Structure 1
Amino acid sequence: MNNYKSLAIALLSIIFLGACDSEKKETTQDGIDYVLVESENGESFSEGDFAIYSLKLVDSEDSVLINSEEVGELPVQIIDSVLSTRGPLFSILKELNIGDSIKTKLSASEVLTQGFRQPVAQDKDPEERLTVYAKALQKLDTAGFMEWQQQKREEAMQKQRADAEAQKGIDDQLIQDFLAKNEIEAEKTESGLYYMVTEEASGEKPEAGDTVRVNYVGRTMDGTVFDTSYEDIAKESGVYNEQREYGPIEIPIGKGRVIRGWDEGIMLLNEGSEATLYIPSGMAYGARAAGPKIPANSSLIFDVELVEVK
């Protein structure tokens, strides 16, 4: 039994010593402490080099604030006179060698305000300690950095196209389910727009570039009214703005001045017609939010009246 106990103690000692050796406390030339988690004894950076880092920020409640696996790596040009003004985070980053992994604790203001020139969120304490994990990934010259940037742009565009294509199917199913549930018969255009004419008229149809006057009520798919040209509906729905003049809005159509769902949908109507447009998110505001009532990737419903074609 004593032999087993001695062996266990010896193994624990080896593990403990190994852990101590793999994480070393370091201090930058500016006096900033950090822990070197791992080193590959890589090449150092020189003045003017472009360095690419991975970065992860975790707050005091273990919530991840920034993760380069999701938002992309951090590119930094090593210019000492610039980085020395950006606080302790960049003091550490500029001294790493390629392959070095570090962790440290810095205040939110040190990382966000000093480092990234961004204000600390109102619900955050500027002195809250954030855990920072970083790794130096690549060293690039100017030509290499320009190539890296182009590659990242292409990757981002490919992802946007893939996400948009996937969202098309989600939006189409959402609109179809809504129409079926509410027993609505709407026509679908080749682009994916659904529409139902609720009041026919015999006036002229607008063409691209025409100016039109339109009354409307805009709703999300759950029925929430987010905007309208009708004063009474605005008051009923809690979106009334006393500084606004209500009534038909005047817009050029078919020229990209409004969302694509409007550009296409309004030109399907005759002057005097009324219709409901069921607009997939890709023809509305896409992957970006549009105010507090329209989240990202929102399909929208518009009741519209084409009052006049000028």
Structure 2
Amino acid sequence: MNFRLFAFAALLIGSVSMYSCIDPDQTQEVLLQRDKEAIEKYLQENSIASVKEYQEPIEGFYMFWQVSTQQERNALLRGDTVRVNYTGRLLNNKIFDTSLEQVARDNNIFNSARNYQPLRFPVGYGLTISGFEFAISMMHPGEKATVIFPSRLGYGNQANGEIPANSPLIFELELLEVKKGPNLNP
């Protein structure tokens, strides 16, 4: 009996010691590299039509505008409220969420208890995942774009409903409206 207890304690201590030697930054770097490779493979296998593009390959962030107003940059400021239609997908093209009822019905994710309407949120308060908010910050009202980004700009190592942990994400976005916030932005 003492031998089993001793063996279990040694195994437990060894596991903890080995785990403590793992550098969390290195783990994040490994995950980012894996995500970037998966995103690059997706982009090679799936053509995304665009009239304008933005890429940050080092970060694994890609954005493709299907409709661009070609206006000068009118930056969103913290507190500005946006209204956005969106469809979220995984790299296997499985749709996990949308603000559009017909898209939900067509992809068997319709929920009759949900009110399908554009997402409305104030920018700069962390109410959405960072990759989503960053993409919106690069858009003007009336624009449509597809954005792809690594898991660290999404839900990271946390699973969220149909989204597995450490999943790169794709969003199709349509920025419908920007209402200037309490900062009294011009």
Name the TM tier (shorter chain): 0.7 to 0.9
Aligned twin of 2:69: 201
Aligned twin of 2:115: 245
Q: Could you tell me the percent identity over the aligned residues?
A: 33
Distance in 2 (CA, whole Å) between partners of 1:300 and 1:179 is: 13
Aligned twin of 1:233: 103
Aligned twin of 1:170: 34
Q: What TM-score do you get using the length of structure 2 for normalisation?
A: 0.80
Distance in 2 (CA, whole Å) between partners of 1:225 and 1:211 is: 25
Deviation digits for residues 237-294 of structure 1, max 9, x if unmatched? 1111111111111012233221110121110111111000101101001111111x21
Structure 1: tracts of 5 or more residues without a match:
1-34, 41-52, 57-66, 74-151
Q: Does 1:264 align with 2:120?
A: no
For residue 188 of structure 1, the aligned residue among 55, 63, 66 is 55
CA gap of 1:195–1:39, structure 2 versus 1, over 3 A, is: closer
Aligned twin of 1:210: 80
Is the CA contact (8 Å cut-off) linking 2:35 and 2:60 kept in structure 1?
Answer: no
Is the CA contact (8 Å cut-off) linking 1:286 and 1:297 kept in structure 2?
Answer: yes
Aligned twin of 2:166: 297
Distance in 2 (CA, whole Å) between partners of 1:230 and 1:237 is: 11
Is the CA contact (8 Å cut-off) linking 2:146 and 2:172 kept in structure 1?
Answer: yes
Distance in 1 (CA, whole Å) between partners of 2:160 and 2:104 is: 18
Q: What TM-score do you get using the length of structure 1 for normalisation?
A: 0.50
Give the CA deviation at 1:38. Answer: 6.9
Secondary structure class of the residue paired with 1:217:
strand
Deviation digits for residues 148-199 of structure 1, max 9, x if unmatched? xxxx9xx59x733221111111111111111112234753136431110111
Secondary structure class of the residue paired with 2:93:
coil
Q: Which amino acid aligns with 1:210?
A: D
Is the CA contact (8 Å cut-off) linking 1:206 and 1:212 kept in structure 2?
Answer: no
Distance in 1 (CA, whole Å) between partners of 2:107 and 2:4 is: 58
Distance in 2 (CA, whole Å) between partners of 1:245 and 1:263 is: 22
For residue 306 of structure 1, the aligned residue among 175, 180, 185 is 175
Runs of 4+ deviating beyond 4 Å: 67-70, 202-205
Structure possessing the higher relative contact order (Cα contacts under 8 Å, 6 or more residues apart): 2
Distance in 2 (CA, whole Å) between partners of 1:242 and 1:54 is: 52
Is the CA contact (8 Å cut-off) linking 2:39 and 2:60 kept in structure 1?
Answer: no
Secondary structure class of the residue paired with 1:209:
coil
Deviation digits for residues 113-138 of structure 1, max 9, x if unmatched? xxxxxxxxxxxxxxxxxxxxxxxxxx
Structure 2: tracts of 5 or more residues without a match:
180-186
Q: Which amino acid aligns with 1:301?
A: I
If you compute each CA radius of gyration, which structure gives the higher value, 1 or 2?
1
What is the aligned length? 171
Is the CA contact (8 Å cut-off) linking 1:214 and 1:248 kept in structure 2?
Answer: yes
Secondary structure class of the residue paired with 1:198:
strand
CA gap of 1:250–1:37, structure 2 versus 1, over 3 A, is: same
Distance in 1 (CA, whole Å) between partners of 2:89 and 2:151 is: 13
Distance in 1 (CA, whole Å) between partners of 2:10 and 2:176 is: 54
Aligned twin of 1:275: 145
Q: Which amino acid aligns with 1:209?
A: G
Give the CA deviation at 1:207. Answer: 2.5
State the superposition RMSD in angstroms: 2.7
Distance in 2 (CA, whole Å) between partners of 1:309 and 1:276 is: 19
Distance in 2 (CA, whole Å) between partners of 1:272 and 1:243 is: 29
